[in-house]
Structure 1
Amino acid sequence: MAIVVNLDVMLAKRKMMLKELSEKVGVTTVNLSILKQGKVKAVRFSTLDSICSVLDCQPGDILEYIDD
């Protein structure tokens, strides 16, 4: 079981840099980088909501479940 984070894909599709997303979402670049790398243990719904709002996407566009 694995959750894959596709934040880098969505950033590329929106032609946005991590720093710009960080400023718009109000989360540090370091924390977003950790999320982007898939090294987080949890994500707040409020953070996910803000990311989806800024990137104009659905949570499923960012998080993907892959059965091993």
Structure 2
Amino acid sequence: MVDRHMSLKELADEVGISNVNLSKIKNNRVAAIRFTTLAGICEALECQPGDILKYEPKQPA
């Protein structure tokens, strides 16, 4: 978002989701994301999913 000079609100509006939901995605507070939402974010930011997603395995309990 910083590289594209885009605010959270601008990105949320372009993708068609609420600021709250986009904020939860941004702050890793979701367990899942719809492919359509991911595709919309990638389209708006002109990036690939791997540019914005990172796999973090769960730590053993």
Give TM class, smaller chain.
0.7 to 0.9
Match of 1:26 in 2: 16
For structure 2, the 5+ residue unaligned runs are: none
TM norm structure 1: 0.79
Instruction: Give the percent of matched residue pairs that are identical in Structure 1 and Structure 2.
Output: 52
CA-based RMSD of the aligned residues comes to 1.2
Which of the pair is proportionally richer in strand?
1
Higher relative contact order (CA 8 A, sep 6+): 1
* Count of residues paired in the alignment: 58
For structure 1, the 5+ residue unaligned runs are: 1-10
- Computing the radius of gyration over CA atoms, which structure comes out larger, 1 or 2? 2
TM norm structure 2: 0.88
